[in-house]
Amino acid sequence: MINQFKGFVKFGIVGLINTGVDFIVFTLLIYAVTNIPYLVAQMISYSCGIVNSYLLNKRWTFKAKNQSSVQEKTRFVIVNVITLLLTLLILKVCSEWFGLSVLASKLMATCISVLMNYVGSRYWVFTSSKVGGI
């Protein structure tokens, strides 16, 4: 249980880094590029964190020492595509149906997707890893 908590904390730190990149790119695209739809901005900004997320989570969070397999990479992409689709849905519902600002909707989508991404990464992508490095 302690190891899983350590792994989740590390996952959270990596997530904060990725979320920072995601929010910065999203905000720049929305406010600096005037005609870009927010759902397109979300796809671009979310994609910016995927490579960093994979490398940091594989090596640091889950201490996976093995060579990356095609199956592991495929599972990682699947988890992140599902997470991206979930964030797109949450963004649309929160902003268009509930009238929240795009940034508030983005925050809501991010909070909900973190847990889903952790569970998918821990229990399906990096299954042979030692959580928390122990």
Quick one: pLDDT at residue 111? Answer: 84
- What's this model's pTM, rounded to 2 decimal places? 0.70
Pull the structure tokens for residue 131: 């959580």
Total domains in the chain come to 1
Domain carrying residue 13:
2-133
Please give the chain's pLDDT, 134 residues, in tens. 677 788 778 888 998 888 888 888 888 998 888 788 989 998 998 888 887 788 788 878 877 766 677 888 899 889 989 988 998 999 999 999 999 998 899 888 988 888 788 888 888 887 765 544 43
**Cα separation of 16 and 14, whole Å?**
5
Q: Which run of H or E residues covers position 107?
A: helix 102-120
